[in-house]
Every structure is written in C-alpha cells, then in structure tokens.
Structure 1
Amino acid sequence: MKLVVFGGGTGLSILLRGLKKYTRDISAVVTVADNGGGSGVLREDLGMLPPGDMRNCIIALSDVEPTMVRLMQHRFKDGYLNGQSFGNLLIAAMYELFGDYEHALKEIGSIFRLSGKVLPMTLQDSQLKAYLDNGECILGEKDIPEFVSKSGCRIDRVSLVPDMCEPLEETVRDIKQADIIVLGPGSLYTSVIPNLLVRNISDLIAESKAAKFYICNLMTQPGETDNYNVYDHVSAIIKHSNRYVIDFVIANDELISEKQIENYKFKGAKQILIDDEQTRQLEEMNIKVISSNFVEIRKNYIRHDSDKIGRLLCSYTKEKIMPKEVTYGKHQAK
C-alpha cells in the first residue's frame, strides 16, 4: 500500500512514526517555505532549502539507534552555532557534497534506513505570503502568526512567491501511484496549504483514484486559526485548492480535561472538536467524517495518537474502511 503524506512541522513527523509501523511505502512531501530559526539561518547563508521540517521527518521514518536520533536533534548551546541543530547541519553538508537536494535526501534515506522517503514540496526558493481580511499582506512564514495576532485580523488566503513553483517529478509520480493521500496534521496555512499551492499538485490529488484524508488539528493555533473549527479548516483547504482533494476527515471528538489544556489556553489556543452540525455540513459536501478519541498526551504535550491513526489509514481498501476500525458520521473509530 502506497501512501503520500503532505505537511510539515511537528504534526507530520508524529504521524509518520505511526504510519511506519504498518507500511514502508511512504512518501512524505514537506513544505519548504520556512524562513525562521536555524533553518532560516542556513537558508540565508547557504542558499539552500530550509532543512528543519525535513530533518524531523527523516528522524520519524528512520530505523537507527536512539543515540543517532538524539544526535540529529541536538542543538548547540553556545557560539556561532547557538540554537542550530546537528541534523540541519548534516543535511546542509550532504547538499553541498552531492550538489542537489534530491540526491542528498536519497543518500540520507539510505544512511538512516527510512521507511519511505522525504521529498521537499519544490526545489525552488519560495516564500509564503499571507493576505489578511483587512487588506494587509505579510511576506515570510515566521512573521505571519505574530502579525496576525497583533492586528486582530484573520488570514483570508496565502500564496507562494514565486506563485508557480514546480513540484518534483518524483512527487508527481508518487501521487499518480498512491493508494492513500493524506493532508496534515500540521499548521493549516504554513504547513498543509503551501503544498497545495505548488503547480498542478491540487489537480493531481483531485484526479487521483486514491482515498484522500485530511487529519484535522487537535488545537487552534494563535495567529493562524483562532476560533477555527473542523469545518473551517476543511473550507480553507478547499478554498486554496478544490473540493476533490478530500474524501475523509479524521477529527477528534474527545474533550480534553481543563488541567491538560491549561498551558495551551494560556497561549491562546483552544481545542478543536467535531460535532453533529459540522458533520452534517461536511457530509453535504460528500466528505465523510471519521471521529474518535485521537488524542495522546505525552509530557504535557497534546498530540495525535499516531499509532491509532496509522492503523486506521492502513486498514483502508479501495472499497471501504474496514468495519472493525471505523464507521462514519455519528459513529466512531474504535
């Protein structure tokens, strides 16, 4: 079973850890519009694609000793390299050694024995531009959430600059061969949607015979999706692509306790829950809702239960979701 997964950030890497337990044929297509942190520094200094999200996905799909995982995530604490991760530097070195990203990532995939592969959404140097509902624009991913929060406005839409970035031929081929295509989880406007703005990607997904899933986030993101519900997330994706990129929505219906959510509420985040009204709205669009408790809490961090979602996705057949795993609408995944 071949899976193609689109996203970025922490959400995608967590999902990949669950998926690799059930299949080794995974293509993780990662957004490369990041211009902040250590990735932004390397991007500016070396003229390379930002490596941070790709690093996280490489680690998630890897089959190496725990010490190597720790090494890849290690961040220097002093000097010029303060805040930079070893994994980012390794990707930068491989890029310089082999001269192009595709070759470098294939070699890294072999070294780390990946259960699949990691692909950048494009090889072009691209920036993310956000258009707010008050008419203002912000260029650069790292500045968008803070600007939106301070302005009190909402994001109307986003675009890539340049606006017609080309996808990798390998990504196009993988979409055409996919059995399952997954969007998310991850930041809606800065991780998920940018992948759909690359030339022809939305159309290729829409035309694919694969089952298409969107995994909705568990929490809103301040400065990006304030007060959004599941339906709002889906509507934003469709606005930036087309109706036929989603067949199924995987959404949480389990209320998280006030104690567990306290730190998130302090930062302005709220829980996202599916309900009957949203289910009705989505089913009117011929989008099926898969609802259950998809929450896993580790070290006070609220995350998707990647094992449960991985098992659910990989139970898919071309006719249906296996009955023991999930039913639709008001019914729940087990």
Structure 2
Amino acid sequence: MRVVAVGGGTGLSTLLRGLKRYTGEQIKDLSAIVTVADSGGSTGRLRKAYSIPAPGDIRNCLVALSESEEILQALFQYRFKGSELDGHAFGNLFLVALTDITGSFMSAIRIASQILRTKGEIIPATLENVNLCASFEDGTVVKGEEEITKYGRENRKRVKKIWLEPQDVKPPIDAIAKIEAADVLVFGPGSLFTSILPNLLIEDLRDAVKRSLALKVLVVNAMTQPGETDGYTAYDHYRAFLEHSSLEKLDVVVVNTRMPSSHVLKRYVEQGQEPVVPDVAKIAKEGVLVYAEDLIGEKDDFVRHDPERLADLLIRVYQQRVSNDVLYEL
C-alpha cells in the first residue's frame, strides 16, 4: 500500500513514527505532505529573516522518520540557549543553511533526509512563503498561524473562515504525484485549523485529493485545542474539516474513546482543554465508516495518540477495505 499523511505539528510526526515500522512490508511507499505556514518560535523568526517556507514541522517529520543514530536525531531537535540563537532548533538552522547553499528548499529536505536516513519522503505543501489567515465569528481578521490560535484562545471566538495569502500558491509536483498514486490518504491528528486544513487551502492539492480514489481517513484529535476547537465533539471536527476543506466526503473517521487518567485530565482542564466527545453515531449516520478505539498514550503526562496503536489501526482499516472490495467483486 502507498500511504500519504497530510498535516503538520506533533500530530503528524507522531503518526509517522508509527507508520515507519511498516515501510518495506505492508507500506510500499510512505510520504508526508507538510504545512509550511507556521509563524511562531524559531520557525517564525527564520521565515521573517530568510523569506522561506516554515522549516519547523519539516524538521519534526525528518526526525520522526529517521533511522539514523539517536545522537543525530537529538542534534536536529537541539535548541540553543542564550545569545542571538536562543530558542532556535539546530535542524531549522540546518535546513535554512542548506536552502541557501543549494538554492532550493526541496533540495535541502532531500539532503537532510539522506543524512537522517528517513524511511519515507517529506514534501512541503508549497515551496512559497505563505501566511495563514482567519476571520472569526466576531468579524476580526487575524494573520499568522500562531496569532490565530492566540486570538481564539484569548477572546473565546470560533474560526469562521481560513485562507492563505497569497491564495494562488502552487504545491510541488511531487506532492500531486504522491496523492494521485496513493492507496490511503490520512489527515491528522493535529491542530485542525492550523496544521491539517492549511494544506487543503492550496487549490491544486485540494483538487488532487478530490480526484483521488484513495481511502480518505480523518484522525480526530483526542483533546480539544484552546483557540481552535473549544467545545468541539468528534462530529464537529468532521463537519469543520469538510466545510473548510471543501471536500465532499471522507471514507473513514478515526476517534479515540479512552479517557486520560484523572491527574493528567485535571492539568489539561486547567489549561482549557477537554477530551473530544466521541459522538460517533452522528458521523456514522452520514455514511462514514467510524473506528472508535482506545488510541492514546500518556507518555510524559501528555495526551497524544500512541504511534503504534494508531498505525496498527490504519493498516487494519486498509486491509479490511481490500478484503471487502475482493468480496464485492466476487
């Protein structure tokens, strides 16, 4: 099977860590199409200084797919402390330097992939310097990924519409080719409005997804996100994904059913986050196949999808589809 994972942030890198175990066996080809609209932290500073696509999520995916020694992985994630380099990740600086040397962000990613011996291909959603914009239910327009989440959190307003500036950006031809050849397209987990949906705001990418005959899977977040999905249930995530992506349908929605432990849940609630309610019946009524299972782990007191459980489920979902298709043909 050929798998394309679409998204960004920690959600995408978590998924890739699980899927890479299957490369060379069940997974013939693994690719990640990654958002490059991040505006915060080290990434945001480098974007302003060098006018390049955001390198942060690319770096995380490189490390997630890496089969190199742990020291190299740690090096790419190392953050400088103090002086003018304070907060910068080594991997971000490395990608910026390679881009300057080669004259190509794609070449920089390919060279970094060779160094880290990644078990999959990482493709930015666009090679252009783009910004994410959003209008909120109170009419306010906010520019910048980090600023969008901040405004929503501080003002408790919901996103009404999102778009990219410039709006006519193009994806790399490699991204289109991977989508066209895919057997499975996975969206999420990750920040719905700032990591997953920005990829589908690129017209050519969105059109390629619409044309694709691949199994289209949405992995719903385990917890709500302040400033983005406050109060959202699983069904709300599903509907918002379709509405803002302009896609007509999904084949499968994956929902976590496990509650975090009480001490971890308490900390999240204090930060304005709560478990996403798994109202799977509402999704199923729309003709979508729903997989509702125990999918989270609590490593280091964080509520995140367990990479192995999620990857195992996605492999099983595809195998069941193939079995059903065979039975249908018979």
TM-score where L is the length of structure 1: 0.92
* Unaligned 5+ runs, structure 1: 324-334
Q: How far does the alpha carbon of each residue in 1:62-115 deviate from its partner, in whole angstroms, 9 at most, with x for none?
A: 111111111111111111000101111111111111111112211211111111
Q: Does 2:189 correspond to 1:185?
A: yes
Equivalence for 1:5: 5
Equivalence for 1:242: 246
* Unaligned 5+ runs, structure 2: 325-330
Equivalence for 1:308: 309
**Cα distance, 1:148 vs structure 2:** 1.5
Q: Does 2:218 correspond to 1:217?
A: no
Contact 2:184 / 2:318 at 8 angstroms: preserved in 1?
no
Q: Which amino acid aligns with 2:154?
A: K
**Cα distance, 1:262 vs structure 2:** 1.6
User: Please, which moves more after superposition, 249-258 or 35-44?
Assistant: 249-258
Task: Classify 1:272/1:316 alpha carbon distance in 2 versus 1 (closer, same or farther; 3 Å).
Answer: closer
Contact 2:260 / 2:298 at 8 angstroms: preserved in 1?
no
Q: How far does the alpha carbon of each residue in 1:230-284 deviate from its partner, in whole angstroms, 9 at most, with x for none?
A: 1111111111223445210110112223212122111100111313xxx232123
Q: 2:100 aligns with which of 78, 96, 100?
A: 96
DSSP 3-state at the match of 1:34: coil
Equivalence for 2:166: 162
DSSP 3-state at the match of 1:130: strand
DSSP 3-state at the match of 2:84: helix
Equivalence for 2:321: 320
| Counterpart Cα distance in 2 of 1:74 and 1:319 | 41
DSSP 3-state at the match of 1:80: coil
Q: Which amino acid aligns with 2:6?
A: F
Q: Does 2:250 correspond to 1:266?
A: no
Q: Which amino acid aligns with 1:134?
A: D
User: Please, which moves more after superposition, 6-15 or 250-259?
Assistant: 250-259
Contact 1:49 / 1:123 at 8 angstroms: preserved in 2?
yes
The structure in which a higher percent of residues are helix is 2
Q: Which amino acid aligns with 2:306?
A: D
**Cα distance, 1:31 vs structure 2:** 0.5
Q: Which amino acid aligns with 2:73?
A: V
How does 1:1-334 map onto structure 2 within 5 Å? Answer: 1-23=1-23, 25-275=29-279, 279-317=280-318, 320=321
Task: Classify 1:21/1:322 alpha carbon distance in 2 versus 1 (closer, same or farther; 3 Å).
Answer: farther
Contact 1:6 / 1:195 at 8 angstroms: preserved in 2?
yes
Misfit runs of 4+, over 4 Å: 316-319
**Cα distance, 1:322 vs structure 2:** 6.8
Q: Which amino acid aligns with 2:287?
A: N
Q: Which amino acid aligns with 1:111?
A: I
The alignment-based identity, stated in percent, is 37
DSSP 3-state at the match of 2:134: strand
| Counterpart Cα distance in 2 of 1:244 and 1:27 | 24
Contact 1:316 / 1:322 at 8 angstroms: preserved in 2?
no
Contact 2:63 / 2:73 at 8 angstroms: preserved in 1?
yes
Quote the RMSD (CA, aligned, Å).
Answer: 1.6
**Cα distance, 1:309 vs structure 2:** 1.4
Number of matched pairs: 320
Equivalence for 1:330: none
Q: Which amino acid aligns with 1:126?
A: V
